[in-house]
């Protein structure tokens, strides 16, 4: 079903509540809650623009407490005035599926781009660009095209799990998934999702899909950028009698490009030939299939030397609750010679996604590593962890959401983040449908709620959960 364009101001900030997978037990759903900044395979949700000292952001939301239809919304926070604008309601996606959440990117002229994703092929996807630089008041739909497999130009109107990167002089490189339903490729026994990338100099004319991986039933990828390097970490879905299907995701892989997708190599600079089609290949960081563990990737960043660091969670299976725990957080760090893996913390859910921050020898994670009011549910109580020894040991340095009545989930790191806006996320009841509010925090750990109802065009976000200890 086509989305309905809206293009008007909303009267405040309210996130989408979403669930998937009823369990029939005390945990209610495989995962659920306030998922306005979900999933980890979408990035970015926010971008800082130094030219105007503003952070632009987008999210999946609703218009009021009675609605369950996913809207795509765009907001802006002014670091000079400390004010947030009323959000622009870009479109009604005609679904309640938070997999269709949007992402945001800025080009070098200051135009704001919104990529409206789709969960598979049932609904179309959209690309919008702001009519003016650094201005969220109005957007225009971009009639984008891509090259198909026989060199023809076709509409670029379906894409999933998008991660968008912009490089001046080159344009956009978007990592994403396309679905091969009814098409068997690379010796597959059944149709599956293909992990790919696609490029464009202007956001209008796009290249053909260029496949990165198609191992058995497909992949989830989570990526990052440092300068001219774009790296992607990913798992795969095994096609075996034990542990098959999309709920079973295992192994950890990494590849990167330093020439805008012309060639790809491992962290150790060993060239790889794409697409990858076998579970054992040069990109393999760690074999978790042999250990019988699921892998859920949260974030990818780079250390001071430009070496990749992957944040991820392992567990014994897809079901919520303690039975398939522990839900162990790890960082995998390429040292320049090999991959080393360090334990970080334990939480209580597979989808307890966190974000990784690296500034010199100060590494930080913001994530729900402590149980929230809905224990064994998606998200929890947000904590900031710190490491001063390249991820070997970690300690909690700040409780961000003490006393909350709802779980907090999917705290996201902005592109080029600044001290006043370092993470952006939503909350929600992880057991049953609830209101969902949106938040950001500054570098001190002070959390601010974006106003759910606004009487004026610009208002101050509200400090919540107490001020951090000095």
Q: What is the pLDDT of residues 308-357, one digit of tens each?
A: 999 999 999 999 999 999 999 999 999 999 999 999 999 999 999 999 99
Share of the chain above pLDDT 70, in %: 95
- Does 181 have pLDDT greater than 60? no
Count Cβ atoms below 10 Å from residue 196 Cβ, excluding itself.
23
d(CA 390, CA 393): 8
Is 78 in a helix, a strand, or coil? strand
The yes-or-no verdict on residue 106 having pLDDT over 70 is: yes
Q: Which residues contact 232 (CB under 8 A, 6 or more apart)?
A: 163, 175, 195, 212, 221, 222, 223, 254, 255, 256, 300
CB contact set of 406 (below 8 Å; sequence gap of 6+): 33, 34, 372, 373, 374, 427, 428, 429, 430, 434, 436
Q: Among residues 430, 429, 424, 428, which one has the least CA distance to residue 447?
A: 424
CB 463 within 8 A of CB 448: yes
Of 244 and 97, the one with more pLDDT? 97
Q: What is the mean pLDDT of residues 93-100?
A: 96
Tokens, residue 280: 């054992």
39: preceding bond cis by omega (within 30 degrees) = yes
By percentage, how much of the chain surpasses pLDDT 90?
A: 87
**Cβ atoms < 10 Å from Cβ of 246:** 12
The predicted pLDDT at position 241 comes to: 60
Q: pLDDT grade, residue 243 (50/70/90)?
A: low
Buried b (16+ CB within 10 A) or exposed e, 31-45: bbbbbbbbbbbbbbb
Q: Which residues of 319-341 are buried (b: 16+ CB within 10 A; e: fewer)?
A: bbeeeebebbbbbbbbeeeebee
Q: Rounded distance, CA 27 to CA 182, Å? A: 35
Residue 146 pairs in a beta bridge with: 154, 206
Q: Where are the beta strands (DSSP E) in 187-242?
A: 193-200, 205-206, 210-213, 221-226, 229-236
- Residue 149, pLDDT above cutoff 90: no
Is there a contact between 377 and 368 (Cβ–Cβ < 8 Å)? no
Is-contact 356 298, C-beta < 8 A?
A: yes
Answer yes or no: is pLDDT of 229 > 60: yes
Integer angstrom CA distances of residue 34 from 15, 240, 287, 322, 438: 6, 33, 32, 22, 9
Average pLDDT value for residue range 260-278: 97
Single out the residue of 324, 297, 432, 425 nearest to residue 368, CA to CA.
425
Terminal-residue alpha carbon distance, the chain: 52
Per-residue pLDDT averaged across 403-413, rounded? 97
Give Cα 351 distance to the centre of its chain: 12
Q: Has residue 396 got a pLDDT over 60?
A: yes
What are the residues facing 178 on neighbouring strands? 194
Pairing mode of beta strands 145-147, 205-206 = parallel
The DSSP symbol for 418 reads B
pTM above 0.85, yes or no: yes
């Amino acid at each position: 079903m086509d989305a309905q364009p809206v293009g008007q101001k909303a009267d405040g900030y309210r996130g989408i509540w979403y669930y998937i997978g009823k369990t029939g037990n005390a945990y209610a759903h495989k995962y659920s809650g306030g998922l306005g900044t979900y999933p980890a395979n979408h990035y970015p949700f926010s971008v800082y623009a130094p030219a105007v000292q503003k952070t632009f952001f987008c999210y999946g939301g609703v218009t009021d407490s009675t609605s369950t239809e996913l809207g795509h919304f765009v907001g802006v926070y002014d670091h000079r005035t400390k004010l947030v604008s009323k959000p622009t309601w870009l479109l009604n996606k005609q679904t309640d599926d938070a997999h269709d959440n949007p992402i945001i990117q800025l080009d070098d002229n200051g135009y704001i781009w919104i990529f409206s994703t789709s969960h598979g092929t049932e609904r179309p996807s959209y690309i919008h660009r702001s009519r003016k630089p650094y201005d969220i008041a109005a957007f225009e739909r971009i009639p984008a095209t891509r090259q198909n497999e026989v060199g023809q130009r076709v509409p670029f109107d379906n894409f999933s799990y998008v991660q968008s990167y912009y490089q001046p002089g080159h344009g956009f490189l978007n990592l994403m998934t396309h679905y091969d339903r009814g098409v068997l490729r690379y010796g597959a026994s059944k149709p599956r999702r293909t992990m790919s990338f696609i490029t464009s100099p202007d956001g209008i004319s796009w290249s053909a899909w260029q496949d990165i991986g198609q191992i058995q039933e497909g992949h989830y990828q989570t990526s990052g950028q440092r300068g001219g390097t774009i790296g992607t970490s990913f798992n795969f879905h095994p096609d075996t009698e034990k542990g098959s299907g999309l709920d079973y995701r295992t192994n950890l892989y990494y590849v990167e490009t330093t020439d805008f997708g012309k060639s790809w190599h491992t962290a150790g600079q060993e060239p790889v030939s794409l697409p990858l089609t076998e579970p054992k290949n040069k990109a393999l960081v760690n074999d978790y299939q042999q250990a019988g563990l699921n892998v859920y990737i949260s974030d990818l960043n780079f250390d001071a030397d430009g070496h990749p660091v992957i944040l991820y969670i392992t567990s014994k299976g897809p079901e919520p609750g303690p039975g398939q725990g522990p839900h162990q957080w790890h960082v995998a760090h390429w040292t320049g010679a090999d991959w080393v893996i360090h334990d970080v913390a334990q939480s209580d859910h597979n989808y307890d996604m966190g974000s990784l921050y690296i500034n010199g020898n100060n590494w930080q994670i913001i994530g729900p590593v402590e149980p929230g009011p809905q224990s064994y549910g998606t998200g929890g109580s947000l904590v900031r962890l710190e490491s001063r020894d390249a991820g070997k040991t970690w300690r909690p340095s700040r409780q961000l959401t003490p006393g909350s009545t709802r779980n907090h989930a999917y705290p996201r790191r902005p592109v080029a983040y600044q001290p006043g806006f370092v993470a952006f996320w939503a909350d929600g009841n992880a057991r049953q449908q609830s209101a969902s509010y949106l938040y950001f925090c500054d570098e001190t750990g002070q959390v601010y709620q974006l106003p759910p109802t606004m009487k004026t065009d610009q208002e101050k976000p509200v400090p919540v959960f107490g001020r951090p200890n000095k």
